[in-house]
Amino acid sequence: MKKWIPCSVLLMCAIVFGSWLHSFLPPDIGVVILENDSGQDIVEATIRIREIELVFPKIPDGDFCAARYEIPGDSHYEVLVTLESGKTMSLESGYMTNGADAFDVMMVRKNQVVHRFSQPSGFLVP
């Protein structure tokens, strides 16, 4: 019974110390690039990552736009694009999780949106 109290105090101290230490670590960061290779201007583009909604401005054909966000946990990308002609395209792709930063490139082509590149920076190879 007497060992219970010191063990409980030690466990509480470990939890408090871990929470305090976590507050000094940078958040998990993601970067996504939306590249336009569709032959038309993109008039509206949105990328959703759980509760985060990234709204992109008009992107001319042959151009790109980038956004930075904090990774909210295990999730994926939901991409919705509207071209100048009124055509809409969508894509659900990718995977991100806490503990590794993410870098992804989405390319809008004539008839589809493709997830062209994905690199979790926690696993970069020199």
Using an 8 Å Cβ cutoff, are 33 and 54 in contact?
no
Q: Is residue 107 part of a domain?
A: yes
Query: Residue 43: how many CB atoms within 10 A of its CB?
Result: 14
More confident residue, 79 or 10: 79
For residue 63, what pLDDT is reported? 95
Q: Is residue 2 part of a domain?
A: no
Distance CA 76, CA 93 (A): 6
Query: What 3-state class would DSSP assign to 123?
Result: helix
Whichever domain contains 119, its CATH number is 2.60.40.2890
Distance CA 49, CA 73 (A): 9
Domain total for the chain? 1
Domain that holds residue 84: 27-123
Predicted confidence (pLDDT) per residue in 107-124, tens digit: 999 999 999 877 765 444
For the question of whether the overall pTM of this predicted structure is more than 0.85, the answer is: no
Query: What 3-state class would DSSP assign to 8?
Result: helix
The string of DSSP codes covering 10-54 is HHHHHHHHHHHHHTTSPPPEEEEEEEE-SSS-EEEEEEEETTEEE
pLDDT band, residue 21 (cuts 50/70/90):
low
For residue 35, what pLDDT is reported? 96
CA 80 and chain centroid, separation: 15
Predicted confidence (pLDDT) per residue in 84-99, tens digit: 999 999 999 988 887 7
Predicted confidence (pLDDT) per residue in 27-47, tens digit: 788 899 999 999 999 999 999
